[in-house]
Amino acid sequence: EPEVTQTPSHQVTQMGQEVILRCVPISNHLYFYWYRQILGQKVEFLVSFYNNEISEKSEIFDDQFSVERPDGSNFTLKIRSTKLEDSAMYFCASSELNTGELFFGEGSRLTVL
Amino acid sequence: RKEVEQDPGPFNVPEGATVAFNCTYSNSASQSFFWYRQDCRKEPKLLMSVYSSGNEDGRFTAQLNRASQYISLLIRDSKLSDSATYLCVVNWGNDMRFGAGTRLTVKP
């Protein structure tokens, strides 16, 4: 069964460092998303991406964040200068339709020290 | 009003019990509604979509009330394996917004 894959599964970084989280969405899906979940809290929307551009972003997704689809398969989230409060699980998701089922990857746990 | 609001829980029920979760959403333009399940430290997974006429999948029944902007999930004959956090998800324009989730623990 096709699945969304994410790397790394866990990354520890120092405050101020750049981090890139990688995702390979399901191949025939057209809509891509990043969500984050701080431990014990709700799943929060960061950004959606369609047709090689951002379609929506939340207030969390400030200038420190960027997304890219550098080739036909990868979808990356970059955090330019990490803060302690960026520590969270970051989930990538993809869907065939923009109002359809989201398929999530297993997440990348980011710990900022 | 929060975008998507759920019963805070937690719900602790014995095996075999019937349990109901409620969810309200603030965007009257939302068209797609889902219940997801999230196990501890795992990714959310789709439990079921919610259709206007209500729908059932085995022990699970979902209802939608558009006028009240309200969604519900009923679990009958609960099993130990139903223990998880249940997330109400509603489309928001081109993306999906999640409720904070309701934790369910089913005890023997």
Q: Is the pLDDT of residue A77 over 90?
A: yes
CA distance B83 to chain A (A): 16
Q: Is the pLDDT of residue A110 over 80?
A: yes
Instruction: Tell me the chain A residues in contact with residue B94 when contact means C-beta distances shorter than 8 Å.
Output: 31, 48, 50, 55-56, 98
Test A104 with B89 for CB contact under 8 angstroms: no
B45 contact A CB<8A = yes
Query: What are the residues whose beta carbons fall under 8 Å from the beta carbon of B24, sequence distance 6 or more?
Result: B1, B4, B5, B68, B69, B70, B71
CA distance B53 to chain A (A): 18
The mean per-residue pLDDT over the stretch B84-108 comes to 92
Question: CA distances (Å), B89 to each of A67, A85, B18, B65, in order?
Answer: 23, 25, 22, 15
pLDDT category at B8 given cuts 50, 70, 90 is: confident
The pLDDT tens digits for A37-59 are 999 899 999 999 999 999 999 99
Mean pLDDT of chain B: 93
